[in-house]
Structures are given as structure tokens and as C-alpha cells.
Amino acid sequence: MDRSNTSSFFNEAIKGSPLLLMESINVTSNIYTLGASPWNYFNIDSRYNDQSEYYSRNKSVFATRTIGKQTYERGIKIGFSPFSFLNIAGSYDKNDIEQFESPTVDLSPNFLRNNYDQKLDLQLRSSSVNTTFTPFSFISLIVGGENKEITQISRGSKVLNQAFLQQTVTTGARYRPWQDWEMGVDFGYKRLRDGTTPFVRGYQQKTTLTYKPINYQNFNVLLDFSSERNYGAGFNDIERSALLQTTGEFLDFQIRNRDDVVMLGSLIVNVIIPMDNVRYIEKIEISGEGYVKKISDKINPDNAYDITGMLIKTTVRL
């Protein structure tokens, strides 16, 4: 069993005008993982995450508020491989999220829980099964299904209680022309509904390309590209993802018509430095990632944007 605790805190105040600009962020996570592989035919992995988040800022007119979130994530994955060419995998995830908001900045987390302007309660339950058939070493065929249930209660000027159901069937293939190359194609059909309303249909097409030009034990380079198109009915995933990245706020689920494409390219470099001669330190891991993301949306052009970025992460293993 592995347990990790991560906590980050950021507090900034800028005095460049009569208005005091401030930004305070505090995120704490407790992650527990447990895995087993009995008889080499089964793989069982479980995960639990208890995460608290606090954001208070007035540096932007779009994010002038205080936000508090409490997330509980529980999941289990089971894999079964009776033959070398056949793998069956199933998973179940249960997530509960509480989010409190207030237009007033610099509120304490405890005060915010009892004096919020808006509150969002989310319950997400999803189960999935995927089967991978590999008749030859260079090609694999995949078929799978997922059932997702979402319950959300929004409390503000009025209380809104909603329940969503999404059922998805996916087929795909993986082609490996060379040892370090893999190309994938997936097609998904999904049907959704809000409460007891009739089902509406949506579709998804995804293409992926992965290449490892350098792959050593302590040093590897990964090139990754993906293109995903959604059309028909679907959740407001683009809006939810954009708001979460910019403000840390979780936007409630809505069903809408979609016709959008999300393209993502990344270059990842991982370096592992063994620390055999240093007491209490096993190794240092350095990971750098540069990425390019492009979104185009024919129905809602305001969602379209291009972004580039770079991330560097250092981990010390004791």
C-alpha cells in the first residue's frame, strides 16, 4: 500500500494602486493506493483521495471570489488476462464533491461553509468494462462500455436538483508499425438524458499517436499527439475544463449540442538520478513537459483558443 500527502500554499499581495490585489491558494491531498496481482492472471488496484482546496483572489474580474472545495475520490480497477492475446478490464469510480462560493474575498474556509452565496453538491458514479484482443503483436482491437450517473444539487437564489445518465459504447484499434510507435483510432457512441427526459445521442472520434525516440532506464523522451472530435449531444466538457484550469472552480454539468475538436501535442522528458551514496534519499525524478493545445468549436466560437505551455516537476524519493 502506498500513501502520499501533498500540500501547496500560495499567498500573494500586490500594492500597485489604492486597491489591494491578493491571491491565496491552499490545496491539500491525502492519497492512498493498494494493488495486488494474484496468480499473475488478475490485477487489482484501488485508490482513495481526500482533497481540500481553497482559493481566494481578486486579481481578475472573472475570478473575484472565495472558493472552497472538498473532494472524495474512491476507485477500483480489476484486470483479467486468461490468455496472452486477451485482456478484460473493469473499473468502478465513486466521487463526491462539495463546493462553496462567495463574492467576498479573504473568507476563512470554516466561515465560508456557513456563509456561502452558492453551493454545488456533486455525486459521480461510473462503471466500465473494456476488452482488448491482440491477434498479432502489431495490432490490437478494443471494445468497451461505460455507464455514468451524475447527481448535482445547486444552491443559490434557488435550489436546482438534477440527475444525468450517460451510457457509452466504444470500439477502437491500436497499430504498432515499429517498436516505439503506436497509433490509435477510437469511435464512441453515447446516449444521455437529464432526469426522465428522452435520451439524446452523441458521437466521439479520437485519434492518437505516441512515439518514444529515446527510452532508457533513467532517461526517456515521449512525443504524444491526440485529436478528439465530439458532435451531437454531450456534456459541457470544454467550458467545465476551461473554468477549472483558470479559477479552480467546478462548473455544474449541462447537456448541450456539440461540434468541436480538441487537439493536444506534448513533448515529455523524464530523467531519474539515482542517489546511491546519499543517505535517506533513493532517487530524484525530474520531469519536463512542453505542450500545445488547440480547441475549435463550431457551435460556440467563444470556446475556441490556442495555448502553449511548459511544466517542470521535481520529485525526491526517500
Q: Is the pLDDT of residue 8 over 60?
A: no
Identity of the highest mean pLDDT range in 25-29, 189-193, 241-245: 189-193
Rounded Cα–Cα distance for residues 34 and 234 (Å): 34
Cα distances (angstroms) measured from residue 5 to each of 8, 104, 151: 10, 30, 29
Q: Give pLDDT tens digits for 121-148.
A: 999 999 999 999 999 999 999 999 999 9
φ, ψ for residue 250, nearest 5 deg: -95, 120
Is 166 within 8 Å of 190 (Cβ atoms)?
yes
What is the rounded average pLDDT of the residues 178-202? 94
Q: Is the pLDDT of residue 9 over 80?
A: no
Task: Label residues 17-42 b or e (16+ Cβ within 10 Å = b).
Answer: eeeeebbbbbbebeeeeeeeeeeeee
Q: Give pLDDT tens digits for 54-63.
A: 988 776 655 6
Note the pLDDT of residue 15: 44
| 196: three-class secondary structure by DSSP | coil
Q: Give the residue among 314, 308, 218 at the shortest CA–CA distance from 266.
A: 308
